[in-house]
Amino acid sequence: MGRWLVAIAVMASAMMELIDTSAVNVSLPYIAGNLSATTTEATWVLTSYLISNAIVLPLAGWMANYFGRKRLLMMAVVGFTISSMLCGLAPSLPLLIFFRVLQGASGGSLQPTTRAILLETFPREERGHAMAFWGVGIVVAPILAPVLGGWLTTNYSWRWIFFINLPLCLVGLVLLELFVHDPPYIRRGELRMDYWGLGMLVTGIAALQVMLDRGQEDDWFGSHFIVALLVIAIVCLATFVVWELRSKNPLVHFKLMKFRTFAAGTALGAILGFVLYGSIVLIPLFMQELLGFPAITAGFWNSPRGLATMALMPVAGYLIGRRWDMRAMLFGGLLVSAVGVYSFSLLNLNAGPWSFFWPQMLMGAGLAFTFVPLSTITVDPIPPEEMGYATSITSLMRNIGASIGISVVATVLQRSRQSHQDILAAQLPPNNPEMQSFLGRMGNDFLQRGTSAVLSGQEALQLLYRMVLKQAAVLSYLDGFRLLAVIFAVVSPLVWLMHRHHHAAESGGD
C-alpha cells in the first residue's frame, strides 16, 4: 500500500504541470487580446516556457542528487505554483513571458524526478503496473486540461488557468511530505556545479528551441537568423556532449548510452514525441480548418484516443506483470499506432465526427501498448543510483522530439499545400472543356442571383480558385498523416535492438 501512496503523490505533482501547460494553449488568443498583443507576440508565452523547461530537463538528475529528490520535488512544486500565481497576476505581456520562464524552469524537473521516484519505489517485476498507473494520470491531464482551460477562460478569465494550481500544490506537498523519502545513495550537497557545461547546455538548448519554434515563420534556412541559431545549437550541444563525457562531475550522464536497451529506448521515445505531438497538431486543425468543426466539437472528438490509451494502459501493465516480452508488445503497439495514424490519411472533405472515432481508438490502443512497455524496458538496465540521470535524458529527448515533430508537420503542411496547389492548377488549362463547362454553370448561377455578367465570371473563377486551395489543403494534411505513419512503421524494428526484460529472461527467455 505504501508504494501506491508514493505513486499517487508523485502523479499528483506531475499532473499539475501537464494540466497547466495544456490549458494555456487554448487560451492564447484571449491572452493576446487582454494584454493588447498580437497572436504572434503572444506565442512567446508558449516558447518561453518550452525553452526554460527544456534547459532544466537534462539537469533534473544532477539536481536530484545535489538537493535530494524529495527536496527538489517539493521545491519544484512550490516554485511552479508561485510562478503560476505570478503569471495569473501579470499586468503585461513582457512580465507574463518572464514569469513563464520561471514556471518552465520550476516545472522542468517534475516529470523526470517523479518518474525516477516511481521506478525506484517499485521492484522490477511491478514496474509495468507502476508505469501504467503513472501513464493514466499523464494521459488524463492533457484530455481534461483543454476543456478546463476553455471553460475557465470563457466563463471567467484566462488568469484562472494559472490560479487553479494552488489547491493542486497543497495536495501534492502534503502527499510528498508524508510518503516520499530519498534512497540512501543520494549524495546530497556533495556534487560540484559544472559551469562551463551549464553555459553550453543553456545556449544550445535555447538556440535549438527558438529555431524550431520560429523556423517555418522565417522560411527556415532562407533566414540568416535561423541558420545562425542552427550553427550555435550544433556547436554548443556537440561540445557539451564531448565535455560531459570527459568531465569528472558531469551534469548529464551520457555514458548511460552504453546500455543498448537504454539508447534504443531513448531514440524510440524521441520518435514517439515526434509522432504524438505532430498528430496533436494535425487532427484538430483538419477538423476546424477544413471541416468547419467548432472548437468544442473538435476537442470532444479528439478525446477517444486518450480514452482508449487510458483504458488499455492497465492491461499493458498487467501483461508486463505476467512476464510477456515487452519488445513484442512495443513492436505491436508501434505498428497498431502506425495503422491508426495512416487511417486518418483516408479521410476526405465528406468526413464527419464519427469518421475520426475508429482511427483515434486504434491509435490510442497502440499508444497504450507503446508507452507502458517503452517506459519500463528503457530503464531496465539502469542502476538505481543512475535512475534520475536516465529519466532526465529520456524526458529531454522526448521533449526535443515533440518540438521537432511540431515544426516538421507545420513545414510539411505549408510546403505540401503549395506543391499540390501548383499540380492542381496545372491540370486546369484555360481550354479544358470540363473547366469551361463548370465555369459556365457557376456563372449562370451567379447571374440568376443578380450578379452582373462581368462579375459573375469573376465570381466563378474565384470559386474555382477556392476549391483548388481547399483540395490542396486536404492533400497536404493527408501527406502529413502518411509521413507520421511511415515514421512509426520504419522505426519499429529498433525495438529488437533492446535486450529482453530481466524477469522475462529468467522465466526461460534469451
- Whether residue 459 lies inside any domain: the answer is yes
Q: How far is CA 276 from CA 280, 336, 481, 505, in A?
A: 6, 14, 11, 31
The residue written with cell numbers 480558385 in the block is 465
The x, y and z cell numbers of residue 56, run together, are 532544466
Nearest to 207 by CA among 192, 186, 185, 228: 228
- Whether residue 479 lies inside any domain: the answer is no
The x, y and z cell numbers of residue 108, run together, are 522542468
Q: Which residues contact 89 (CB under 8 A, 6 or more apart)?
A: 159
Angle between helices 387-426 and 44-56 (to 10 degrees): 140
DSSP string computed for 79-125: HHHHHHHHHHH--SHHHHHHHHHHHHHHHTTHHHHHHHHHHHHS-GG
The x, y and z cell numbers of residue 414, run together, are 505549408
Q: Indicate the number of domains in the chain.
A: 4
Q: For residues 285 and 480, is the Cβ–Cβ distance under 8 A?
A: no
Amino acid at 129: H
120 alpha carbon, distance to own chain's centre? 25
Are 296 and 308 members of one domain?
yes
Are 290 and 222 members of one domain?
no
Are 302 and 431 members of one domain?
no
Residues in the chain: 510
Amino acid at 260: R
The x, y and z cell numbers of residue 3, run together, are 508504494
CB atoms within 10 A of CB 415: 14
- Whether residue 328 lies inside any domain: the answer is yes
Are 388 and 499 members of one domain?
yes
Amino acid at 358: W
Nearest to 104 by CA among 21, 202, 10: 21
- What does the alpha-carbon distance between residue 391 and residue 499 come to, in Å, rounded to a whole number? 19
Are 455 and 505 members of one domain?
no
Q: How far is CA 434 from CA 211, 414, 438, in A?
A: 46, 29, 6
3-state secondary structure (DSSP) of residue 50: helix
Are 304 and 242 members of one domain?
no
- Whether residue 299 lies inside any domain: the answer is yes
Q: What is the per-residue pLDDT for 406?
A: 81
Quote the DSSP letter at residue 510. -
Give the domain CATH number at 303.
Answer: 1.20.1250.20
**pTM score > 0.75 for this model?**
yes
Range of the domain at 42: 1-192
Are 499 and 377 members of one domain?
yes
- Whether residue 261 lies inside any domain: the answer is yes
- Whether residue 72 lies inside any domain: the answer is yes
The residue written with cell numbers 502534503 in the block is 174
Q: What is the per-residue pLDDT for 237?
A: 92
Q: For residues 130 and 4, is the Cβ–Cβ distance under 8 A?
A: no
Are 311 and 401 members of one domain?
yes
Nearest to 55 by CA among 395, 475, 367, 434: 395
Q: What is the per-residue pLDDT for 263?
A: 93
Low-confidence ranges of the chain (pLDDT < 50): 504-510
- Whether residue 305 lies inside any domain: the answer is yes
From 165, 192, 219, give the residue that closes a domain: 192
Are 113 and 244 members of one domain?
no
From 146, 164, 192, give the residue that closes a domain: 192
Q: For residues 101 and 50, is the Cβ–Cβ distance under 8 A?
A: no
- What does the alpha-carbon distance between residue 430 and residue 317 come to, in Å, rounded to a whole number? 62
Are 359 and 227 members of one domain?
no
- Whether residue 164 lies inside any domain: the answer is yes
CB atoms within 10 A of CB 308: 21
Are 230 and 340 members of one domain?
no
Are 166 and 276 members of one domain?
no
